[in-house]
Structure 1
Amino acid sequence: MIRLNWTDEQKNRIIELSKQGLSSPKVAQQMFDEYGINFSRRTVARFIATGHTSSHYKGKPKPKVKDVKRGTEIVINKDGSTTSSTTMQMTEEQAKDPEFVLRAHGFNPDDWDIVSARNNFWQQNSVENGLIDLYQSKITVKPKVDNDIKRAVEVLTRDIKPIKVKHSLDSSRKRNLVIPITDNHWGITHLSDVQDKLSELLDIIKQGYGTIVIEMIGDMLHSDKINSTETVSGTILEDVDMPKAIDEAMQFTEAIVVTALENANTVMIKSVGGNHDFDISYMFMIWIKERFKQAQVDVNNRYRTAYLLGHVLISIQHGNVNKKNPAQILANECRHLWGIATTTEIHSGHLHFDKTEDQNGVVFRQFSTPKPSDDWETMNGFVGSNKLMYALEYNDDRLKVEHFI
């Protein structure tokens, strides 16, 4: 094993890059690009912090990526991964170094993880260098999940300033309003698609209510990721512009919540995740909680939740799980609320069409979606359902008015 001592030039260059504000991983990447040596990120960080290196780089100086990635074959797979195959010259130690292998294939280790790797070894006589070690290298990589989350957090949390809404109590407001929002699939849906419906909903809210409950019943956003378009389970979807989708979802939500705060004594926001956006919707709810301090916001990572509105017990769930006997599950999980309620309802979405059914006194309301038909729905002929939004007015013990918007 050969130990490589850093030269004064290399040390000075590391210090210079650090002073420019580059992180240790980026300094290591830049040093690799300039010197063709795979500097350890940990050792670089130690040197920046202390001016000393307590361990030496293991292995021979490594050839630059530009020398080893000739003839690389790149295949983009349906699951979002990428497969790269190439022939390169490297040592046995280098073949065991994930960072070196990633860089040799042209991938930044900060942005990609190796899913699988296979390096087949053989030796070949070289006119210039004699007997050399060669590898047929094939790797499959995926973007780092943390990178997706970081980008999502940046979009969802930038410039969060709580809104202060003029909010007053009015004892004349007797009825309550429930606004179920499900399967908007922002990214497929745009503000222009629902502008008229949103305006009509705001007019209903302005009538004034004792309590307004906004139910976020899942699949508000079409994708659970930012860099790629796929569901929480990894199903690949048609591409959408997710930063724009998040921005439009924010505008839509803000218009409803602000108007609700102006026209209700109490505003509650309840939520569950969907099969498309379970993870990112959780972060979206954190944004809602930070943005609207005057509302009672329920942030959770559950598949179902329930609340009491007067003597009306309402459970919300997206509709993709707990299909067998949701009423019995509700009675078991919420026994104290079940005993108080005179009316019990379960609200869901997921299937994109409207359906109401009374099963032994428990009313199941499955809501449609205002989203336009996407390519998959059009291809399969699922285009006949009404594109609706809803607002439900309740008194203390039952539904009184149902608005189809």
Structure 2
Amino acid sequence: MIRLNWTDEQKNRIIELSKQGLSSPKVAQQMFDEYGINFSRRTVARFIATGHTSSHYKGKPKPRVKDVKRGTEIVINKDGSTTSSTTTQMTAEQAKDPEFVLRAHGFNPDDWDIVSARNNFWQQNSVENGLIDLYQSKITVKPKVDNDIKRAVEILTRDIKPLKVKHSLDSSRKRNLVIPITDNHWGITHLSDVQDKLSELLDIIKQGYGTIVIEMIGDMLHSDKINSTETVSGTILEDVDMPKAIDEAMQFTEAIVVTALQNANTVMIKSVGGNHDFDISYMFMIWIKERFKQAQVDVNNRYRTAYLLGHVLISIQHGNVNKKNPAQILANECRHLWGIATTTEIHSGHLHFDKTEDQNGVVFRQFSTLKPSDDWETMNGFVGSNKLMYALEYNDDRLKVEHFI
């Protein structure tokens, strides 16, 4: 084997082949094919590692790495934040620039804010650039409060002055009407989906009643957040337009409450939160209370509540908790009302299908939903239940008429 004085062209070619991922033997073979010269595999390996061709070079081999795009690990947290970990090249000044760090992790600074950041520094040799500064960077970010939230706030606060509805008392109205509203999931459901059912419900209300009770039994809104679509526990859902959902929920509710105030001596609105919208439904009920001062509005953050309608005791709960023995819990929590009542009922939703069951004299009414099937329900085949609304007519001591709408 002859000793070679490698030209700059040959050295550059060896570096180029090495960057393409070829091993030292393959680089040596490729150089022989191109130049007709037998390049020693060992010498080629030494040159790639040290930058020198001589076997007499005594310096410590310098580790060389190829500049490659490094992966990023993304973790979505339950509180709505996102944690990103990546290795990236930046300067000390760039590491202090929030916008640069966000872009390094693939986040648009216009859409995200940094909650916390940690950048660990070290140096490493690069084939292309020599000694480079690297950072192991870990950040936690949250979506910015943007126009969607501003829109939602505007919707919830616009025209919040009390709405005055003209109505008169009528002693001939003897029966009472209960309107259970559960699992509407506004955002999946739209006004165009329920116009006919709403019109039929309003016609029933217009018959006139002594007391109308509107039961808000949870999951009126599909998401508990505005800027992302997820439940109160952080389960990620398919995206919906929450400002529009809130607006349509308000229109739907106002149509029912106004018509009820016009056609009943007393209007009561009872509520509990659902597993989708427990927090945001509380805020929604505050809007209802401020908007409809003529109604008796119960704003609470409880999982269940109860009321007496004549001698009928009715408890409402969404249905996702207190499933073991709700009748016994009702008897313990509402001892006085339990003693007065001649009929006891528990109203719930959550499971999206209709079911009525009498358990030792306590009637359990589980109501269906009027919402269209979403992607998750369609995927799992949960598409067979009836899409219903309800209106229940009671006299002083029991149910008399059940309207399926």
TM, length-normalised to structure 1: 0.74
CA distance in 2, matches of 1:49, 1:210: 92
Q: Is the 8 Å Cα contact of residues 210 and 264 (structure 1) preserved in structure 2?
A: yes
CA distance in 2, matches of 1:328, 1:78: 34
- 1:166-181 to structure 2, matched below 5 A, reads 166-181=166-181
Q: Is the 8 Å Cα contact of residues 224 and 232 (structure 2) preserved in structure 1?
A: yes
CA distance in 2, matches of 1:296, 1:54: 94
Q: Structure 1, unaligned stretches of length 5 or more? A: none
For each residue in 1:103-157, what CA deviation from the matched residue of structure 2 results, as whole angstroms up to 9, or x when unmatched? 8868799975656644221147999999986523232322368998766433312
Shift of 1:97: 9.5
Query: What is the DSSP-based 3-state SS (H/G/I as helix, E as strand, rest coil) of the residue aligned with 2:215?
Result: strand
Shift of 1:352: 0.4
For each residue in 1:215-236, what CA deviation from the matched residue of structure 2 results, as whole angstroms up to 9, or x when unmatched? 0000001111111111111111
- 1:164-313 to structure 2, matched below 5 A, reads 164-313=164-313
For each residue in 1:172-226, what CA deviation from the matched residue of structure 2 results, as whole angstroms up to 9, or x when unmatched? 0000000000000111111111111111100000000000000000000111111
Select between 208-217 and 104-113 the one with higher mean Cα deviation.
104-113
Q: Is the 8 Å Cα contact of residues 271 and 298 (structure 2) preserved in structure 1?
A: yes
Q: 1:24 to 1:285 in 2, by over 3 A?
A: farther
Q: Is the 8 Å Cα contact of residues 346 and 364 (structure 1) preserved in structure 2?
A: yes
CA distance in 1, matches of 2:164, 2:3: 62
Select between 105-114 and 320-329 the one with higher mean Cα deviation.
105-114
Q: Is the 8 Å Cα contact of residues 282 and 299 (structure 1) preserved in structure 2?
A: yes
Structure of greater Rg:
2
Q: Is the 8 Å Cα contact of residues 3 and 59 (structure 1) preserved in structure 2?
A: no
Q: 1:138 to 1:19 in 2, by over 3 A?
A: closer
CA distance in 2, matches of 1:333, 1:48: 80
CA distance in 2, matches of 1:44, 1:296: 88
Q: Structure 2, unaligned stretches of length 5 or more? A: none
Q: Is the 8 Å Cα contact of residues 111 and 147 (structure 1) preserved in structure 2?
A: no
The size of the alignment, in residue pairs, is 405
CA distance in 1, matches of 2:293, 2:53: 50
CA distance in 2, matches of 1:322, 1:172: 39
Select between 156-165 and 340-349 the one with higher mean Cα deviation.
156-165
Q: Is the 8 Å Cα contact of residues 391 and 403 (structure 1) preserved in structure 2?
A: yes
Q: 1:159 to 1:58 in 2, by over 3 A?
A: farther
Shift of 1:159: 2.8
CA distance in 1, matches of 2:256, 2:25: 44
**Match for residue 72 of structure 1?**
72
CA distance in 2, matches of 1:14, 1:161: 79
Q: Is the 8 Å Cα contact of residues 274 and 318 (structure 1) preserved in structure 2?
A: yes
Select between 391-400 and 26-35 the one with higher mean Cα deviation.
26-35
Q: 1:348 to 1:71 in 2, by over 3 A?
A: closer
Query: What is the DSSP-based 3-state SS (H/G/I as helix, E as strand, rest coil) of the residue aligned with 1:251?
Result: helix
CA distance in 2, matches of 1:32, 1:265: 100
Select between 119-128 and 232-241 the one with higher mean Cα deviation.
119-128
Q: 1:383 to 1:107 in 2, by over 3 A?
A: closer
Query: What is the DSSP-based 3-state SS (H/G/I as helix, E as strand, rest coil) of the residue aligned with 1:287?
Result: helix
Select between 284-293 and 73-82 the one with higher mean Cα deviation.
73-82
Q: Is the 8 Å Cα contact of residues 186 and 249 (structure 1) preserved in structure 2?
A: yes
Shift of 1:20: 55
Q: 1:130 to 1:162 in 2, by over 3 A?
A: same
Q: 1:168 to 1:64 in 2, by over 3 A?
A: farther
Q: Is the 8 Å Cα contact of residues 215 and 271 (structure 1) preserved in structure 2?
A: yes
RMSD value, Cα = 16.5
Shift of 1:158: 2.3
CA distance in 1, matches of 2:251, 2:224: 19
Q: Is the 8 Å Cα contact of residues 4 and 61 (structure 1) preserved in structure 2?
A: no
TM, length-normalised to structure 2: 0.74
For each residue in 1:233-270, what CA deviation from the matched residue of structure 2 results, as whole angstroms up to 9, or x when unmatched? 11111111111111111111010000000000000000
Q: Is the 8 Å Cα contact of residues 212 and 268 (structure 1) preserved in structure 2?
A: yes
Q: 1:64 to 1:21 in 2, by over 3 A?
A: closer
